[in-house]
Chains A and B, each alone.
Chain A
């Protein structure tokens, strides 16, 4: 499997720069963890699917290339051989069709896991995610629930252009009736996917292509087949007392790196891994801001109507008196993702942007002028 990743990375040198950025965070982890096993996010997702499918025969996987191709990103590797083509279903290229089929089968009692090759393609199926899945429990007054999981990579990869790089967290999280999860580490991936499959409601599970190959330490508890994480609870990845940085998915890694750099300057940052975008863990975020008095939100998606906008508003509504500085939002640039490598780097938050924002919040540097 590493061979495949190396072939993909080496072939284009596409994700090499960002991989180098993330890797130091992982090695920092290594020095802190006890002598536990390590697991890639890909293996974590694969093992979670494997165990849930073994435990409950109503769970099945459907999507493009999930079977014979072993998964477009190899997440469903080996599942076809183990469970057969009736439970690992290769579909034609019809997102609207197979998402609808998934929802219909969930109405009638099965537990589908629908894979989108990237969440950009979910836009061809968004009518079913929103109108057939999310709203059904409400419209039927509880008679029909939809225990479906829509999963796939979300957000930017490297050099894949405007139509393959959008982050859909804010779009899906704005709708009542959907649960939206965004794992970062292998522990998150395993626990949240298991929780999502067992959940009786529609769940949008946003993974990240560049995190698939990342290794994280996992304890024995995480490897247990009944391991599950609660939906709606954020995790404090790193404790601190000067500024709260919230992030999800790949940006958690960047935030941790930024926290390391800030620690050298004497700023102790608390990094919150949101894990769950809807329901948002407002309690944890507010408790943290009441402790540190400063907030920086980080996300890959666009600023307007983004996840950060919601978090900032929540903090202003609930903990206004505790804030010592204006809330800071870091998000992707307000442009469709450009292809050119240098422009793409500028279009997404980098570690330095997070460091600068935290410094601004701590008044260590000149605050930005009011006009953009």
Chain B
């Protein structure tokens, strides 16, 4: 127990130390602090086990350090690469799909095919690809309004997403949801929420279901994981903290991924947050808090693998802060005047797609022609999606009143288990349907 207490003391001391060193004018591109602790240490385990868990935990956080360590320690004759060629191509293709799709959305919006609010994901592809490609089909993803690429990474076909954006009946939500409300029952994309913070309790609920299925319904092999994606602005919202508490309390299989792109519309993260290091909020609630470079898909992938494995084992939630950037404005209606062009230029040099391409070519995993072939293939997929969406019909008039209730006419279920409105005797009286 003494080790547990010293762990607690460490947790309490470190934030103070970091604050005194912190210079608010320093850009957030600074080295992160080592991981601060989790309930792991509070459990009465043997010292040896604690030691092992500490080592494992530090490998979660110090990913880029570990990567550098691996590289320097490994012998020079055998390159210790982070990915195989196949994995690299999968990652590359997914990121190119996200980028090409969003660029096409911008074009279509300015041509009037899309309308309302459209929030694009350019620049943040590494986060979506890095995390979602570690999931199975049964795992859930919950997102905010910046959800096109999350849906695509999870497996929703590009043509379904594009039709939805055009407002056509062949869209993934029959044209009723729109850009901000991408749902897919088949691929377990649980939205798509316009209110930031709203998706976090929903994701926590999905994780609760997974645990419930395993423990109450006795589906022994149910190890489904949920990932909640949200931004830096959301990390100041009350719902976020409520869910961190409950997820850690009940050890839910969820990963909270903060896509910290430093801006909430025009509000800089540093102006809105008392302590801008979001990952530190994890240990305050008893879960590991990890900071990772969100412009590097390989680093994100490593962190994701560890976090997903942790959740699947039943060890509980993880808070991951991905430092990333959106190349476009908040939405297509945002003039984007407040962001410094120098900042945008800096992050443009850290484009995740270019970084992965460079890594794979430099390490002789692929030839440039193979990557070009992928890009061409994705261009065709996106073009086909647009053609499909254009050619699809708009919803018919009768669709307006459908889907309000799962129960067709809203009268509920009769005692015999069928819908009341299907019982011809039900409308025999004075009730009108």
Contact = CB atoms under 8 A, between A and B. Distances in A.
Interface of A: 4, 7-8, 11-14, 64-65, 68-69, 72, 90-94, 96-97, 120-121, 124, 157-164, 333-336, 338-343, 346-347, 370-372
B418 interface: no
Contacts of A340: 167-169, 175-176, 178, 394-395
Contacts of A347: 400
B395 A343 contact: yes
Contacts of A13: 112, 115
Given A68-B266, A161-B177, A340-B395, A93 B234 contact: yes
B413 interface: no
Contacts of B399: 343
Given A339-B181, A372-B432, A93 B116 contact: no
A341 B167 contact: yes
A188 B110 CA distance: 34
A93 B264 contact: yes
Given A69-B267, A343-B175, A343-B399, A162 B181 contact: yes
Contacts of A159: 115-117, 167, 178
Given A339-B167, A340-B395, A93 B115 contact: no
Interface string B392-411: 00110101110010000000
Interface of B: 109-110, 112, 114-117, 164, 167-169, 173, 175-181, 193-197, 233-234, 236-238, 264-267, 271-273, 332-333, 335, 338, 394-395, 397, 399-401, 404, 432-433
6 contacts: A12-B115, A90-B271, A91-B272, A160-B117, A340-B169, A346-B400
B400 A343 contact: yes
Contacts of A162: 176-177, 181
A97 B338 CA distance: 25
Nearest to A338: B176
A62 B394 CA distance: 41
B106 to A, nearest CB: 10
Contacts of B267: 64-65, 68-69, 90, 92-93
For B173, B176, B332, B333, the residue with the greatest tally of chain A CB atoms inside 10 Å of its CB is B176
A116 to B, nearest CB: 12
A64 B114 contact: no
B400 A97 contact: no
Given A64-B267, A92-B267, 6 more contacts: A94-B237, A159-B167, A161-B181, A339-B164, A339-B181, A340-B175
A158 B116 contact: yes
B114 to A, nearest CB: 7
A338 B234 CA distance: 26
